[in-house]
Chain A
Amino acid sequence: MTKTVSTIAVVLTLLGASSVTAARFTTERSSHTLTLLPGGMVVVENVSGNVRVTGTDTDSVVVNIERVFRANDPAGLVRAREATLTTAEGHEKLRVIRTVITATSPDFGSVVNYDLQVPRYARVRIGSKSADDITVTNIQGSVAVTNINGRITLGEVAGPVSVESINGSITFDAVSKPIAEARLTTINGNIELRVPSNASFTWIAQSMRPNYVTTFKSLAGRAVGPAYQAFVNGTKGPAFRTTAVMGSVALLRDGTKMSEAKRIFEEVRVTEMMMIAPARRIVRRPLIDGNLQFESSLGEVAVGEVRGSANVKMGAGEVQLGIVRGICDVVSLGGPLRFGDVTGRLNARTSAGDISIQSAREGGTITTGGGTIRLAHTGGPTRLQSGGGDIVVRQASAAVSADTRSGDIAITMDPSARSQRITAKTGKGNVLLNLNPAFGADVEVTILTSDPARDLLRSDFPLSIQREQVGGKTRIRAFGKINGGGERIELSSEEGGVQITSSSVPGTPSK
């Protein structure tokens, strides 16, 4: 009876609850018996529905199939039925049970649930897209399961185990004397590994968060690369690798509960990304009336105004700060950074992602490992660096130094700026500089190109030009004192052009 209830629940979930009111359902059941030789393999490939495989002491594979069709009208039910094929292929050493969907439509759908009894010696492979439950129990051969959504539960499996899920959680009950390795991987789900307290094995856990918990009292664990490794009851046993990229990993002793588990933590503080907060933390606040101090391995920070200084260290995630009254120091190992009006000096660094700043009144240092930097206004000496990406400064009233491995650099100096040191260097790309007509400087432009035929240098200020061959390339150099000279301007581009324009209107056409 309970089985019927759970089946209906599954059907409703998988077929879409919204269509339940208008929908019609029919269910077909069938049973088939196939033989399997010792060492043989049973493969189940399903699209959506549950799969249960149980080992028995017989030599045959019993396949119970439940096909559930949903449609809005009788004709749709016929089509759903026609479009849902279940097949058995192979021979006595390999049995492949498969669901084949030959047509899909919003008007009809189907779910196929499999319940298989297989010889205990069978090797079992299960592949599914969307299942509420995949359960495998009492198998001596190897077991491999892959799915996208849904829970996977393995128990009493003695052979090697490999489970790969994307969004599903995995529960694995190990046998008392494990000899075979297990590899459990999920991206967004959690992993629960249950073992007899005397089982001997090596536990290797990995997660980005990292969130590892256990009910074992004292584990001799340590960090190995990005993973945590512990020998449980000696070093003899097989390895159980548990990777939950975004989730948590729990190692539970038989007879203990998840609620009793303690976090393994101190041992894991090895890599830079595994900083203080273990879980993903999100800070969203309109105002912090004081200093903001925040560290997280995964997270997101969005604060409208920080009255004091801001100090953020982020493993991976977006950082967005509106107004910062004090000094602003943000370091991220990955993710875009956005700032509004920063009063104090700004130090912003991300390993990957764009950086945009409305205003850095005191200037500062802005660095990305790869991404575009957009700075609307800076009032102090500013250094900008990108591992690859454009750099755009729309209004600078102090010295600017911009450097990108590849990308365009566009700098517009404030109309009031009379002479400031400017350096712009791109490994591949163009440099555009806009100055007010009275700006005084000693200009030096270098362009290295393999295409000298192109119109690469344009200047509204008079410059003298030299060309020379360097290897297979042409180096174009231009010099000049403009408006009687002043601070140095050094512009350098490879495989691109340099343009110096004169305008009293701030802002470049480039975004």
Chain B
Amino acid sequence: MNHLSDQELMKIVQAGDYAPASEIYDRYSGRIYNFAFRFLKNAEAAEDATQEVFVRMIKYASQFQGDAKLSTWLFSITANWCRDYLRKSDNKAKEAEDVLLSLPASSEYSPERDLERRESELRVKRALGALTAEQREAILLSRYQGLSYAEIALIAGCSEGAVKTRVFRAMETLKKALTADVGGGGRWLNATR
């Protein structure tokens, strides 16, 4: 099964045989889950999102066009699910959940390094949290999923120009949040001479 391309696996699914479901899940679940987790800032919701995305993939397999990238299609489903989730007002309160609690313990690091990493993570998490949902979606897909603006535009349902603006605005906000020398923030020690 792992010899087959995404398109070939999807053809089998489209023919009504779900044998490739497990393989497709293995290929994309990590990316989907991480995207949803960072977008929603809630592990439980990210689990629901991941499961639901793959169920929808099976359910709507016939809508998948063979010439499209499966990743783009899956991220479209994911982004839709996440937007719906955030739209429900009672879910917004859950955003406050501290993502650091659900991070796996990394045994390779010394406690000090771990602490320092966690601080850095916290800072990045806070900075991402300060973005609008649209900006966050765009920056997550660009920075962490390596998607092109054209792909992001497809997923977000907007123009490439809009993606460009969202990423730019997001970067402006993140830059301020991450490079400012205020309590908890980092500072550059490079000599200016």
A89 to B, closest residue via Cβ: B186
Residue in contact with A41 in the complex, picked from B112, B187, B188, B192, CB distance below 8 Å: B112
User: Does A352 sit within 8 A of B, measured CB to CB?
Assistant: no
A28-B193 in contact (CB<8A): yes
B189-A87 in contact (CB<8A): yes
User: Does A29 sit within 8 A of B, measured CB to CB?
Assistant: yes
Interface residue tally for chain B (C-beta within 8 Å): 18
A87-B116 in contact (CB<8A): no
Residues in B whose Cβ lies below 8 Å from that of A32: 189
A46, chain B: closest CB distance, angstroms: 12
Given contacts A28-B193, A89-B119, contact A144 B112 (CB under 8 A): yes
B112-A43 in contact (CB<8A): yes
Taken together as a complex, chains A and B put the C-alpha atoms of A30 and B112 apart, in Å, by: 26
B116-A67 in contact (CB<8A): no
Residue in contact with B116 in the complex, picked from A29, A43, A84, A144, CB distance below 8 Å: A43
Taken together as a complex, chains A and B put the C-alpha atoms of A125 and B188 apart, in Å, by: 20
A90-B191 in contact (CB<8A): no
A125-B187 in contact (CB<8A): no
Residues in A whose Cβ lies below 8 Å from that of B112: 41, 43, 125, 144
A88-B189 in contact (CB<8A): yes
A91-B184 in contact (CB<8A): yes
Residues in B whose Cβ lies below 8 Å from that of A28: 190-191, 193
A127-B113 in contact (CB<8A): yes
A86-B189 in contact (CB<8A): yes
B110-A144 in contact (CB<8A): yes
Q: Report B174-193 residues with CB < 8 Å from chain A CB.
A: 183-193
Residue interface bits B104-141, CB-to-A below 8 A is 1, else 0: 00000010110110011000000000000000000000
Taken together as a complex, chains A and B put the C-alpha atoms of A90 and B119 apart, in Å, by: 8
Taken together as a complex, chains A and B put the C-alpha atoms of A85 and B178 apart, in Å, by: 15
Taken together as a complex, chains A and B put the C-alpha atoms of A96 and B123 apart, in Å, by: 14
B21, chain A: closest CB distance, angstroms: 28
Residues in B whose Cβ lies below 8 Å from that of A45: 113
Given contacts A28-B193, A125-B110, A144-B110, contact A89 B187 (CB under 8 A): yes
Residue in contact with A94 in the complex, picked from B115, B189, B192, CB distance below 8 Å: B115
Residues in A whose Cβ lies below 8 Å from that of B115: 94
Q: Report A76-130 residues with CB < 8 Å from chain B CB.
A: 81, 84-91, 94, 96-97, 125, 127
Residue in contact with A30 in the complex, picked from B113, B186, B189, CB distance below 8 Å: B189
A67 to B, closest residue via Cβ: B191
User: Does A478 sit within 8 A of B, measured CB to CB?
Assistant: no
A45, chain B: closest CB distance, angstroms: 8
User: Does A187 sit within 8 A of B, measured CB to CB?
Assistant: no
Given contacts A90-B116, A125-B110, contact A97 B189 (CB under 8 A): yes
Most chain B CB neighbours (cut-off 10 Å) among A81, A85, A87, A89: A89
B191-A30 in contact (CB<8A): yes
B189 to A, closest residue via Cβ: A86
User: Does A63 sit within 8 A of B, measured CB to CB?
Assistant: yes
B191-A29 in contact (CB<8A): yes
Taken together as a complex, chains A and B put the C-alpha atoms of A391 and B183 apart, in Å, by: 67
A164 to B, closest residue via Cβ: B110
B190-A89 in contact (CB<8A): no
Given contacts A91-B183, A125-B110, A144-B110, contact A63 B189 (CB under 8 A): yes
Taken together as a complex, chains A and B put the C-alpha atoms of A96 and B117 apart, in Å, by: 10
A65 to B, closest residue via Cβ: B189
B183 to A, closest residue via Cβ: A91
A56, chain B: closest CB distance, angstroms: 19
B173, chain A: closest CB distance, angstroms: 19
Q: Report B139-193 residues with CB < 8 Å from chain A CB.
A: 183-193
B116-A89 in contact (CB<8A): yes
B191, chain A: closest CB distance, angstroms: 4
Taken together as a complex, chains A and B put the C-alpha atoms of A127 and B193 apart, in Å, by: 27
A87-B191 in contact (CB<8A): no
Residue in contact with B186 in the complex, picked from A41, A88, A144, CB distance below 8 Å: A88
Residues in B whose Cβ lies below 8 Å from that of A96: 116, 119
Taken together as a complex, chains A and B put the C-alpha atoms of A372 and B150 apart, in Å, by: 56
Residues in A whose Cβ lies below 8 Å from that of B188: 85-88
A63 to B, closest residue via Cβ: B189
Q: Report A1-47 residues with CB < 8 Å from chain B CB.
A: 28-30, 32, 41, 43, 45
Residue in contact with A89 in the complex, picked from B110, B113, B120, CB distance below 8 Å: B120
A65, chain B: closest CB distance, angstroms: 6
Residues in B whose Cβ lies below 8 Å from that of A85: 188, 190
A28 to B, closest residue via Cβ: B191
A30-B184 in contact (CB<8A): no
A162 to B, closest residue via Cβ: B110
A30-B193 in contact (CB<8A): yes
Residues in A whose Cβ lies below 8 Å from that of B193: 28-30
Residues in A whose Cβ lies below 8 Å from that of B192: 30
B190-A86 in contact (CB<8A): yes
Residues in B whose Cβ lies below 8 Å from that of A43: 112-113, 116
Taken together as a complex, chains A and B put the C-alpha atoms of A43 and B115 apart, in Å, by: 11
A146 to B, closest residue via Cβ: B110
Residues in A whose Cβ lies below 8 Å from that of B189: 30, 32, 63, 65, 86-88, 97
Q: Report B39-87 residues with CB < 8 Å from chain A CB.
A: none
A425, chain B: closest CB distance, angstroms: 36
Residues in A whose Cβ lies below 8 Å from that of B187: 87-89
Taken together as a complex, chains A and B put the C-alpha atoms of A84 and B112 apart, in Å, by: 23
A125 to B, closest residue via Cβ: B112
Taken together as a complex, chains A and B put the C-alpha atoms of A29 and B192 apart, in Å, by: 9
Most chain A CB neighbours (cut-off 10 Å) among B113, B115, B186, B190: B190
A86 to B, closest residue via Cβ: B189
Sample of 12 A–B contacts (CB below 8 Å): A30-B191, A30-B192, A45-B113, A65-B189, A88-B187, A89-B120, A89-B185, A94-B116, A96-B116, A125-B112, A125-B113, A127-B113
Q: Residues on B close to A: CB < 8 A? A: 110, 112-113, 115-116, 119-120, 183-193
Q: Residues on A close to B: CB < 8 A? A: 28-30, 32, 41, 43, 45, 63, 65, 67, 81, 84-91, 94, 96-97, 125, 127, 144, 146
A-B residue pairs, 8 tightest by C-beta:
A30-B191, A89-B186, A28-B191, A86-B189, A125-B112, A96-B116, A88-B187, A87-B186
Additional A-B contact list (13), CB under 8 Å, known A88-B186, A88-B189: A30-B190, A65-B189, A81-B190, A86-B190, A89-B119, A89-B120, A89-B186, A89-B187, A90-B119, A94-B115, A94-B119, A125-B110, A127-B113
